[in-house]
Amino acid sequence: MRRVNFSVNKVSLATLVYLPNDVLKVLKGTLELMSVKLLVYLFVVFFACQKQVAVCAGLPQPIGNTFETLISRFGSRYCINMRPQENSWYQSPCGRFYDERIDVIIGVRVAGKLYSLPFSRLEFSNFDAVNQTITPCKLIWRASLKSPPMRLNLKFVSPFYPKDERTTLLPAFIVEFVVENCSEEPLHGELVYGRELNARQLATLHMGDGVAVFETQGVFKAHEGVKGKGWDVELMRLGGKTMLTFRRTFKLQPNSDERSMLVLACYSRDAFFKAKGYPYRFKYAHLFGDVNEVMNYALVNAEELCSRTELFERTLLDPVEDDALKMLISLAFQSYASNALWLLPAEDVATSMGLKREPPFKQWFSVLEGGGGLFNSTVDVEYNISPFYLLYWNELLEMLLDEWSAYRRGGIIRHDMGMGFVANGMSYYHDMPVEENTNFLLMLFSLWASTAKHGLLKGWWDVVVELVKYLLSTDTDGNGFPNIGTSNTIDQAVYVTQHAPEQTYLAMKMAATYQAVWQMARFVGDFKTAKECQSALEKITATMKKAWLGDHYPVSIDRAIPGWDAYSIYTANGWLLPLIVGVSPQVDVQRMRIDIINSTKATWRGYSSTHTSVDVTTFISQNIWRDCIAAYLGMDMVKNARSYWSLQWTLNRTTGGAFVDSYNYDTGYSSLRYYPRGMAVVCYILAIGGISFNALERKIVIQPLFENVVIPLPQFSDWASKRIPSIELRPSEGKPRISIRHKELLEGWNVAIGR
Ligand SMILES: [Ca+2]
């Protein structure tokens, strides 16, 4: 989740007040153990975050409809974070929070005047109008002038294509410029892209015909490069800064346009990451030789890379009608992608360090927690992202499960695997045992049920049994609900929501987990575990029955805790993954439905629901998750996404933060910025179609929320041949008209439609 406790501000202090003594002891102990280096780093990150908020306060609104976001190379960290609201541009081969502000000019020179988009504090003129739009992998600006009448269409593309590592990991952006002459007169001018270079970059700069390469020293050493055909390269002094400048002249006939391209790339072979003490470097360094190879590959294959990216994006955007939801999906994907890390062991470096052992992991994949503390693949965060893996890249989830299980201790899946570029063990200050164990088991179950990879269960059965044993031990009074290990991910909430024993949210999540493990246990022939799970599930459902308060479930059944009977949006949280793989919950679904309706009503505040009716903070990702469960239960809450987008839009034109998950309605303070968890939005495309898919039964069931829907089935794609099946439902008299694209990829599957 979360900001860690180092970001001591109003919210975390409020959280700390509610910590019980034993947690404070653990916290104190952990802090003592932290190295000075780590603490220095924590403060740097903290002040970096705080500064943005403080600096932005009181600034005028940015030009046009521009807003902050970031575009990044998935798994490869190369990242550009544009902040029009503060005339800033952050860039780095090391990614967000390891980046720095540089002055960037990007635009045109016409009639002797330089017009740029608003990403520097240098001297330039603004365009008369700027329109910004985003897609998951693209940033698009349309900037225009009245005199002379012209338009610049600028597109930054960050290629992504599922199961295609060369396309997805390539550390390069493709930048497309289309300049349009909108007048009856010829138009002469030049395109300009310029970026500030520091002393080290200048000292290492090599310029050639349409190409420049220099060295950047961040957390690690990297080469950066810019390349394009037909561009003049030079150094230019502007406002006291030395700018590496690419210029390209255009001579346009009346009402004509011209397209040109630049590639921005980086490359590092440094072994900058450690997992269990073993050095790792970017996987891209095994796919490409150096920065020149990266730039050439990107230029030569630009059309193909863009067309693949477009195809992927359409699977996310086509099912959605609402523009606000399209924007929310795009913003969320961008923040998610910026946090991903995909690495391979650096055996050569390990040998030079005197390490004789085998690498602990053949590959490393993790997603940092953005402004929530940069933790490596926090389990509760990935739980909300996991439907993305089920649809697009299930091998990534398999890697995560493998890593988490290697870091577990005493029957408990740890909250995270370490902070930043060090994954030597959990860095958050306490475990969330019940929650993370159930998250792990639900993800394992949904991966198994959606792929029928039986090896997953065989490989991890010992782990499953260990985790279930711990879960069973947490109920100390025999009612099925957990009494210990109940601290959870909702770390900006009041005590009852975050730490209370006997939580309904966790009990329901255990119910979903027990039902899932029961099925897995029967499959592997572990009837003892199956029986234990069945009996625990029965206890929980009996207690749930007693806990019902007429129109909702309480937050906790411990009536001594203030706020125990509040309304919560988390009650049904555990059931979304089982619903996606076609499981019928063995709990009172009708009450679950009533609970969702009434808790949403009791917690809604302007943009979203707070965690519970006694909390003042919201997590947008958890609102999205709730809406999607509602959809599976036949209720349309998809339109809520407009409010979530409205909050993101408002924040990103002022204090910024790209995808911002947390907002406090009392203080107006936003946190969990540049946060990956918004990727939960992928569930909307599943929920709108009400689709479940189960590879064990080879069954697809569709129960759409609307009559008129397109349901993409990316999980059945043959990406190599660009065949992505989908089901389209169109209203007609009597039965809806159904058409299936690339039916051949669903051969052997039974497709059932309707409620
Ligand atoms: Ca209990």
CA of 27 from ligand 1 middle (Å) equals 26
Tokens of 578: 């089982």
Q: Are 447 and 456 in contact (CB under 8 A)?
A: yes
Quickly tell me which residue has 């034109």 as its tokens.
653
Mean pLDDT of the 345-363 span: 96
Model confidence band, residue 517 (pLDDT cutoffs 50, 70, 90): very high
Residue 37 reports pLDDT greater than 50:
no
CA of 481 from ligand 1 middle (Å) equals 4
CA distance 272 to 696: 41
CA of 474 from ligand 1 middle (Å) equals 7
- For the packed helices 291-300 and 302-317, what is the interaxial angle rounded to 10 degrees? 70
Q: pLDDT value at position 54?
A: 35
| Of 485 and 35, the one with more pLDDT | 485
CA distance 159 to 248: 24
CA of 609 from ligand 1 middle (Å) equals 28
Mean pLDDT of the 632-660 span: 97
In this predicted structure, which of 20-24, 269-273, 285-289 has the lowest mean pLDDT?
Answer: 20-24
Model confidence, pTM: 0.93
Residue 29, classed as helix, strand or coil, is helix
Tell me how crowded residue 306 is: count the other CB atoms within 10 A of its CB. Answer: 18
Residue of 249, 436, 419 lying closest to 339 (CA atoms): 419
Residue 43 reports pLDDT greater than 60:
no
CA distance 328 to 467: 35
Q: Are 383 and 439 in contact (CB under 8 A)?
A: yes
Model confidence band, residue 736 (pLDDT cutoffs 50, 70, 90): confident
Q: Are 745 and 717 in contact (CB under 8 A)?
A: yes
Residue 4 reports pLDDT greater than 60:
no
Residue of 132, 127, 167, 169 lying closest to 149 (CA atoms): 127
Q: pLDDT value at position 8?
A: 28
CA of 468 from ligand 1 middle (Å) equals 15
Task: Give the pLDDT confidence of 492-508 residue by residue, as tens digits.
Answer: 999 999 999 999 999 99
**Percent share of the chain, pLDDT over 70:** 92
CA of 547 from ligand 1 middle (Å) equals 12
Mean pLDDT of the 363-381 span: 97
CA distance 257 to 181: 6
Q: pLDDT value at position 55?
A: 34
H helices of 657-748, where? 682-689
Model confidence band, residue 58 (pLDDT cutoffs 50, 70, 90): low
* Largest separation between any pair of C-alpha atoms in the chain: 84
Residue 682 reports pLDDT greater than 60:
yes
CA of 475 from ligand 1 middle (Å) equals 4
CA of 495 from ligand 1 middle (Å) equals 18
CA distance 372 to 621: 13
Q: pLDDT value at position 61?
A: 86
Mean pLDDT of the 562-571 span: 98
In this predicted structure, which of 55-69, 184-198, 462-476, 477-491 has the lowest mean pLDDT?
Answer: 55-69
CA of 501 from ligand 1 middle (Å) equals 8
CA of 560 from ligand 1 middle (Å) equals 14
Task: Kindly state the DSSP code that residue 376 receives in the 8-state scheme.
Answer: B
Q: Give CA separation, 530 vs 5, 478, 517, 533, in Å.
A: 40, 18, 7, 5
CA of 573 from ligand 1 middle (Å) equals 19
Quickly tell me which residue has 């029009």 as its tokens.
84
CA of 379 from ligand 1 middle (Å) equals 24
CA of 565 from ligand 1 middle (Å) equals 17
CA of 516 from ligand 1 middle (Å) equals 20
Bridge partners for 131 per DSSP: 142
CA of 539 from ligand 1 middle (Å) equals 10
Residue of 617, 624, 670 lying closest to 493 (CA atoms): 617
Return the CA Rg of the chain: 26
Residue 401 reports pLDDT greater than 70:
yes
CA of 531 from ligand 1 middle (Å) equals 19
Tokens of 647: 């909050």
CA of 438 from ligand 1 middle (Å) equals 16
Residue 294 reports pLDDT greater than 60:
yes
DSSP string of 349-360?
A: HHHHTT--SPPS
Residue 9 reports pLDDT greater than 80:
no
Sorted by sequence, the CB contacts under 8 Å of residue 341 that are 6+ apart come out as 75, 77, 273, 364, 365, 366, 367, 368, 376
Q: pLDDT value at position 80?
A: 98
In this predicted structure, which of 525-529, 663-667, 706-710 has the lowest mean pLDDT?
Answer: 706-710
CA of 482 from ligand 1 middle (Å) equals 5
Q: pLDDT value at position 59?
A: 52
Q: pLDDT value at position 38?
A: 44
Q: pLDDT value at position 737?
A: 87
- Amino acid, single-letter form, for residue 211: V
Task: Give the pLDDT confidence of 209-256 residue by residue, as tens digits.
Answer: 999 999 999 999 999 999 999 999 999 999 899 999 999 999 999 999
CA distance 620 to 175: 31
Q: Are 512 and 442 in contact (CB under 8 A)?
A: yes
Residue 116 reports pLDDT greater than 60:
yes
Residue 640 reports pLDDT greater than 70:
yes
CA of 496 from ligand 1 middle (Å) equals 15
CA of 561 from ligand 1 middle (Å) equals 15
CA of 105 from ligand 1 middle (Å) equals 61
Q: For 129-166, give the secondary structure using H, E and C.
A: EEEEEEECCEEEEEEEECCCCEEEEEEEECCCCCCCHH
CA distance 258 to 252: 8
CA of 567 from ligand 1 middle (Å) equals 20
Q: pLDDT value at position 734?
A: 78
Task: Give the pLDDT confidence of 201-215 residue by residue, as tens digits.
Answer: 999 999 999 999 999
Task: Give the pLDDT confidence of 534-548 residue by residue, as tens digits.
Answer: 999 999 999 999 999
CA distance 46 to 9: 10
- The structural domains of the chain, ordered by start, are 10-45+319-689 (1.50.10.10), 65-313 (2.70.98), 691-753 (no CATH)
H helices of 477-526, where? 495-498, 504-524
CA distance 490 to 566: 15
What is the rounded average pLDDT for all residues in the chain? 92
CA of 503 from ligand 1 middle (Å) equals 9
CA of 557 from ligand 1 middle (Å) equals 9
Q: Peptide bond preceding 148: is omega within 30 degrees of 0, i.e. cis?
A: yes
Residue 457, classed as helix, strand or coil, is helix
For residues 205-227, b (16+ Cβ closer than 10 Å) or e, as one string?
Answer: beeeebbbbbebebbbebbbbbb
Q: pLDDT value at position 733?
A: 86
Q: Are 188 and 250 in contact (CB under 8 A)?
A: yes
